[in-house]
């Protein structure tokens, strides 16, 4: 109204867009339309490109205009130095390059929408809109001037798509139905192409955009999936399915917190879809909320008992809780849904092992390896079951197969070495752990087990070196300290043995082996009261511990405590009448009774 023309003019849309983004508007007074410097300042502040530099409210603008009308001076925050002629807004070379590209895209979109200059088709416009959405996600926030450009471009890209003609809409629906059928047949690339044709035919169909995103996600294009789901939600913010699929894409991109928010939006709009509960269960599990994950997976199963992901997730939580019978219900359902899926059989084998049902466990693991013979984990679990059943050759064969599939499978190599130790093949076991230490020099278990093999050979100095290295790598492992103590004890270094056993007890106060051996060392060092304390504690924890009964009985007899010694020896014979030491215990007991009529 002041000048009779807009702030920026041009003969083509592209020229106007470039000027709007990159130039400072001319002051009204410079156009020969009258006005004062104060009025110029108010107008130019209204036209600031950065929102935070504009008036904060209509009240602030009204106050400034009233000051101009009364001839009162403006505050320094409003009155700025005015340019004598239009100037260019500075920007970095990177921003300028990307800005030029995006302005060209915007100009093309604008021309196509308005039907001028370029004459682009509606399908080309839609493709450019999607290109703009991807550029916005990738470039937003990198540069302030570039952000302003993107905001301007969004304004152009946000023009509502023209309605599809009836024939195009019908054709789009046919492509949509075809794409859904292809998804069910797992022909995902063809499904994506069908959904892409659907949105080309009718770009206003939010469901078509959502399905396109879903197909892209199935093919691993999570960024493309997210862009399509965002497009669907721009068209229909209440589309629960799009919120759900957006959440899944965000989860696959590792943006877990955002995924949870999107899934919450989906459930708020439609809580009847089992998949949304299942996906949210997975997200909550990854966020460290197993209780919430369990609730979500249970809700999903209530809605669809055949939803595999929810069954598997809930089963894993139940196994972690020790609710093995309940876990088996879900696992049996998994196997019934798809008997050809090896994961269900393998998981059931693990649960049966936890229940000490080793025959059933082996049957399950054998079936898993039959169904999926190239999965190292399944062979490892089968080998562990064979090992527990003392089927050592079968265990070795299973571990060998796991290592053929994955030579870096450290657990399989570790357990293979254990089997070799059990078979007395100590040189082979040491060679196995040599290899493992080369592959994973920071793995404490490899050093500890090589030490155990060397201890079996009587090479106590080498065993001590290996066990000490294990305690350096994993000082929190009580077993490593116990093994170090055992090596020192056999090497005759009682003080070092006591220190190692003492550390093992500190780390695991309920460990009876370390307590018992510490008692032995204490007795040999002359600390009989300390030794008796250790034996007392062992028998509190394990009243059937034969070694502690014999050791305590011997110390009590040596101290002249005949009645308590007789009691301990008698208890040992009651518990272990056929033990190899029973004969000498009976002789000692007879002597004590003779001394204590």
pLDDT tens per residue, range 480-525: 999 999 999 999 999 999 999 999 999 999 999 999 999 999 999 9
pLDDT of 266:
96
- For 259-285, what is each residue's pLDDT tens digit? 999 999 999 999 999 999 999 999 999
pLDDT over 60 at 119, yes or no: no
pLDDT tier for residue 41 given thresholds of 50, 70 and 90: confident
pLDDT of 113:
41
Q: How far is Cα 470 from Cα 2, in angstroms, rounded to an integer? A: 83
- For 177-188, what is each residue's pLDDT tens digit? 999 999 999 999
Residue 358 near residue 385 (C-beta atoms within 8 A): yes
Here the contacts of 157-161 (C-beta below 8 Å, separation 24 or greater) are 157/106, 157/109, 157/128, 157/129, 157/132, 157/133, 158/234, 159/109, 159/113, 160/204, 161/122, 161/125, 161/126, 161/129, 161/203, 161/204
Is the Cα dihedral 522, 524, 527, 530 positive or negative? Answer: positive
Residue 20 near residue 152 (C-beta atoms within 8 A): yes
pLDDT of 129:
52
Q: Is 311 helix (H, G, I), strand (E, B) or coil?
A: helix
pLDDT over 90 at 37, yes or no: no
């Amino acid at each position: 109204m002041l000048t009779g023309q807009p702030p920026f003019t041009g003969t083509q849309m592209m020229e106007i867009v470039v000027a709007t983004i990159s130039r400072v508007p001319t002051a009204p007074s410079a156009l020969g339309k009258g006005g004062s410097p104060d009025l110029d300042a108010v107008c130019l502040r209204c036209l600031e490109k950065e929102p935070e530099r504009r008036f904060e409210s209509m009240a602030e603008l009204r106050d400034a205009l009233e000051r101009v009308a009364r001839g009162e001076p403006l505050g320094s925050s409003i009155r700025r130095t005015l340019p004598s002629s239009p100037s260019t807004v500075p920007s970095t070379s990177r921003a300028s390059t990307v800005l030029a590209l995006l302005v060209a895209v915007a100009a093309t979109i604008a021309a196509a929408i308005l039907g001028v200059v370029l004459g682009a088709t509606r399908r080309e416009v839609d493709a450019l809109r999607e290109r703009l959405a991807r550029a916005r996600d990738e470039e937003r926030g990198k540069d302030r001037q570039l952000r302003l450009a993107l905001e301007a471009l969004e304004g152009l890209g946000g023009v509502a798509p023209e309605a599809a003609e009836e024939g195009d809409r019908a054709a789009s629906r046919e492509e949509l139905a075809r794409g859904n059928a292809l998804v069910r047949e797992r022909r995902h690339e063809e499904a994506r192409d069908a959904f892409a044709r659907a949105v080309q035919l009718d770009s206003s169909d939010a469901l078509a955009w959502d399905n396109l995103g879903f197909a892209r996600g199935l093919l691993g294009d999570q960024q493309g999936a997210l862009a399509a789901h965002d497009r669907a939600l721009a068209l229909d913010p209440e589309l629960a399915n799009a919120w759900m699929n957006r959440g899944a894409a965000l989860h696959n991109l590792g943006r877990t917190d955002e995924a949870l928010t999107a899934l919450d939006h989906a459930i708020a709009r439609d809580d009847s879809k089992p998949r949304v509960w299942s996906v949210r269960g997975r997200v909550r599990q990854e966020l460290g909320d197993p209780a919430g994950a369990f609730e979500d997976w249970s809700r999903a199963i209530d809605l669809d008992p055949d939803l595999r992901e929810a069954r598997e997730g809930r089963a894993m939580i139940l196994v972690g809780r020790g609710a093995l019978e309940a876990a088996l219900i879900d696992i049996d359902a998994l196997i019934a849904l798809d008997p050809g899926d090896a994961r269900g059989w393998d998981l059931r084998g693990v649960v049966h092992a936890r229940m000490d049902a080793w025959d059933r466990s082996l049957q399950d693991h054998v079936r898993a390896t039959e169904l999926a013979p190239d999965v190292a984990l399944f062979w490892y679990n089968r080998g562990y079951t064979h090992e527990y059943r003392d089927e050592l050759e079968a265990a070795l064969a299973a571990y060998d197969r796991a290592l053929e599939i994955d030579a870096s499978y450290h657990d399989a190599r570790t357990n293979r070495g254990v089997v070799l130790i059990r078979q007395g093949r100590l040189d082979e076991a040491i060679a196995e752990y040599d290899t493992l230490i080369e592959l994973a020099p920071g793995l404490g278990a490899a050093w500890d087990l090589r030490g155990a093999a060397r201890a079996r050979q009587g090479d106590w100095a080498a065993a001590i070196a290996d066990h000490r290295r294990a305690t350096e790598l994993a000082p929190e492992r009580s077993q490593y300290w116990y093994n170090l103590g055992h090596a020192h004890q056999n090497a005759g270094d009682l003080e070092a043995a006591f220190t190692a056993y003492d550390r093992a007890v500190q780390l695991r106060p309920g460990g009876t082996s370390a307590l018992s051996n510490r008692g032995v060392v204490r007795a040999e060092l002359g600390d009989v009261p300390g030794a008796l304390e250790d034996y007392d504690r062992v028998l509190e924890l394990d009243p059937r511990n034969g070694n502690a009964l014999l050791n305590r009985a011997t110390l009590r007899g040596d101290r002249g405590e005949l009645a308590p010694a007789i009691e301990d020896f008698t208890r040992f014979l009651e518990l272990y009448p056929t033990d190899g030491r029973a004969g000498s215990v009976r002789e000692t007991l007879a002597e004590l009774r003779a001394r204590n009529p």
